[in-house]
Amino acid sequence: MLLLRCPLLLLLLLPLSSRPQKFPTRDEELFQMQIRDKAFFHDSSVIPDGAEISSYLFRDTPKRYFFVVEEDNTPLAVTVTPCDAPLEWKLSVQELPEEASGEGSGEPEPLEQQKQQITNEEGTELFSYKGNDVEYFVSSSSPSGLYQLDLLSTEKDTHFKVYATTTPESDQPYPELPYDPRIDVTSLGRTTVTLAWKPSPTASLLKQPIQYCIVINKEHNFKSLCAVEAKLSSDDAFMMAPKPGLDFSPFDFAHFGFPSDNNSGKERGFLKSSSKFGRQTSSKPRVDLHKVCVGNKNIFTVSDLKPDTQYYFDMFAVNTNSNMSTAYVGTFARTKEEAKQKTVELKDGKVTDVFIKRKGAKFLRFAPVSSHQKVTFSVHSCLDAVQIQVRRDGKLLLSQNVEGVRQFQLRGKAKAKYLIRLKGSKKGASMLKILATTRPNKQSFPSLPEDTRIKAFDKLRTCSSVTVAWLGTQERNKFCIYKREVDDNYSEEQKKREQNQCLGPDTRKKSEKVLCKYFHSQNIQKAVTTETIRGLQPGKSYLLDVYVIGHGGHSVKYQSKLVKTRKFC
């Protein structure tokens, strides 16, 4: 497979030599020689088959790549990794010019004719995506043709990576994730957090060299190591970015702030592989973001953190042979308060996020400032069930296990103070949202029916559609339904591991959205709605999610439903 940037680039390159341009091939000796020869890539976007390249996009300035698949029924995989901004990218294919077939040993066709053949045809679109996720196009049998990859960043100048291969089964450069890709918070202190994770099968089964890198920051989780590196070097990167219209090599990124592949051992602004969180290799850190690589360990304690501060933790498995990485499912945790701050104060009508370590407990206090007849506690458990106990002036009023969303209304008392004890799950760390209020109309959480399952009608299944139903309430709410194709071996256990009830529709891809609608019924017995999801593929499995969005904007996800279309109709 060959990749090139554009015909204009060929016009610049080919006159430099009397020989035709040699593109990277899967001949390993030649391939390794070309990888080592940086001059081969200079002022070019040629992507070798089976190697990852880094490149750069200016805002609102599209970039186009081409690559050739010379034989029919060729496996093909293309991976695009956005770094610090969402990308729009599209992959299309058109028939090869007759002169482009073969081994390229004959005379090259005239440049103007080649340029016209490449630019005058649009080709057939195979795949498109818009967002900041690492996204893939994979085909087990691709036709021969001239493939065109178009990329665009509409937000800002940005760095990205592209990987393409015609041997995806044997290459496997990205480390594989374990069956449970979550990071567990096993211990939580005032200045320390201990993390544990399951090893990558690439290391444990395939015995390939894998090291794990932890990223810590206070803002949000990251979807790729590329995004981390772009954030760390953002100041220098954009200050010294090349001018629009000038071609440049991926190897030149080291000159304007992006770490080059050949300088991976000298990562600017990264932590050394040390248990101390505060020691940095950069004398002038510019962002509150840190990375530390811990070798092949599966447990690590991050130290020198601030008390009562929320941190986000991401884990990346890095194949040290290919220097390519895969992200685990990130997590977050709040360090313990100082000893004198053992109880969290709840404010009337304000939602508070609570994190509880495995088998741990958290105490909260609610002291209404005015007299009240009733007090309402709304609890939204994001993962596993948690236990809530409420005491008023020392008297136990409530003790319940909460799964999903629950609302408890208690009789008020003048000048009363409420102590809430939340106990975490034995299975793992717990995350939840809680709201306490003395105003009945101050409800941030949408009302839910007792049964939040999605029902699928087996008799109404077709090869391209499924019909489902779910319960509503007497309160008018907005419902949004999303679908995602999953593997046939996707199990209920996997579905449960991935279910974070607090993640809203804003975390989903736009392509997964089916529709949104408002629904309610004054007759609770008739508060049922149905929907037919069309445009599905025969014999494929899909995971369906329904989100209900309340008036305050807070969303709650119903229990996910796994459905499968009929294979034959």
Count the Cβ atoms, other than its own, within 10 Å of residue 516.
13
Please tell me whether residue 12 adopts helix, strand or coil conformation. Answer: helix
How far from 507 is each of 310, 426, 504, 549, 555, CA to CA, in Å?
20, 27, 6, 14, 12
Q: What is the DSSP letter of 298?
A: S
Question: Taking a C-beta distance cutoff of 8 angstroms, is the pair 222, 327 a contact?
Answer: yes
Model confidence at 364, in pLDDT bands (50, 70, 90)? very high
Is pLDDT of 426 > 70?
A: yes
Backbone angles phi, psi at 272, to 5 degrees: -70, 160
For residue 48, give Cα distances in angstroms to 24, 38, 189, 235, 300.
5, 13, 48, 30, 37
**Alpha carbon separation from 152 to 156, 160, 264, 308, 372 (Å, rounded):** 10, 11, 27, 41, 56
Give the Cα separation of 54 and 77 in Å (integer): 17
Residue boundaries of the structural domains of the chain? 51-95+123-171, 173-235+288-338, 344-437, 454-564
Residue 340: the pLDDT is: 59
Please report which confidence band the pLDDT of residue 117 belongs to, taking 50, 70 and 90 as the band edges: low
Q: What is the DSSP pairing of strand 343-346 with strand 361-366?
A: parallel
In the three-class reduction of DSSP (H, G, I as helix; E, B as strand; rest coil), residue 169 is classed as helix
- Give the pLDDT score at 496: 65
Instruction: Write down the CATH number for the domain with range 173-235+288-338.
Output: 2.60.40.10
Sign of the torsion formed by the C-alpha atoms of 297, 54, 136 and 501 = positive
Amino acid 516: pLDDT:
93
Please count the other Cβ atoms lying within 10 Å of the Cβ belonging to residue 60.
Answer: 12
By the 8 A CB rule, do 26 and 49 touch?
A: yes
By percentage, how much of the chain surpasses pLDDT 90? Answer: 28
What residues does 411 pair with on adjacent strands? 374
Which of 59-63, 161-165, 274-278, 353-357 has the weakest average pLDDT?
Answer: 274-278
Rounded CA-CA distance 456/470 in Å is 9
Predicted confidence at residue 484, as pLDDT, reads: 92
Sheet holding 299-302, edge to edge: 184-188, 193-196, 299-302
Is the sign of the CA dihedral 44, 7, 90, 93 positive or negative? negative
Residue with tokens 């593997």: 487
Length of the chain equals: 569
Residue 21 has pLDDT above 80, yes or no: no
Q: Residue 41: which of 28, 56, 27, 22 has the closest Cα?
A: 22
Q: Is the pLDDT of residue 547 over 80?
A: yes
Residue 360 or 43, more confident: 360
Mean pLDDT of 4-8: 36
- CATH architecture for segment(s) 51-95+123-171: Sandwich (2.60)
Q: What is the pLDDT of residues 175-202, one digit of tens each?
A: 989 999 999 999 999 899 999 999 999 8
- 37's tokens: 């020869």
Contact 30, 23 (CB under 8 A): no
pTM of the full structure: 0.44
Residue 99 has a pLDDT of: 55
Q: Decide if pLDDT at 387 tops 70.
A: yes
Is the model's pLDDT at 328 over the cut of 70? yes
Please tell me what DSSP assigns to residue 23.
Answer: P
- Common-topology check for domains 51-95+123-171 and 344-437: yes
Mean pLDDT of 210-219: 93
**Phi, psi angle pair for 393, to nearest 5°:** 50, 40
Strand partners, 423: 361, 387
Band of residue 101 on the pLDDT scale cut at 50, 70, 90: very low
Q: What is the pLDDT of residue 22?
A: 35
DSSP string of 420-436, one letter each residue:
EEEE--SSS-EEEEEEE
Q: Are 62 and 151 in contact (CB under 8 A)?
A: yes
Q: Please list the alpha-helical segments (H only) found in 181-293.
A: 201-204, 225-232, 234-239
pLDDT, tens digit (0-9, with 9 covering 90-100), for 467-477: 999 999 888 88
* Confidence at residue 112, expressed as pLDDT on a 0 to 100 scale: 42
Q: Are 325 and 213 in contact (CB under 8 A)?
A: yes
| β-pair type (289-293, 513-519) | unpaired
- Span 452-469, pLDDT tens digits: 899 999 999 999 999 999
CATH topology of domain 344-437: Jelly Rolls (2.60.120)
The dihedral over CA atoms of 320, 326, 329, 330, expressed in degrees to the nearest 10, equals 60
Q: Could you tell me the pLDDT band of residue 356, with boundaries at 50, 70 and 90?
A: confident
Q: 454-564 belongs to which homologous superfamily?
A: Immunoglobulins (2.60.40.10)
User: Rounded to an integer, what is the distance from CA 380 to the centroid of its chain?
Assistant: 23
pLDDT attached to residue 19: 36
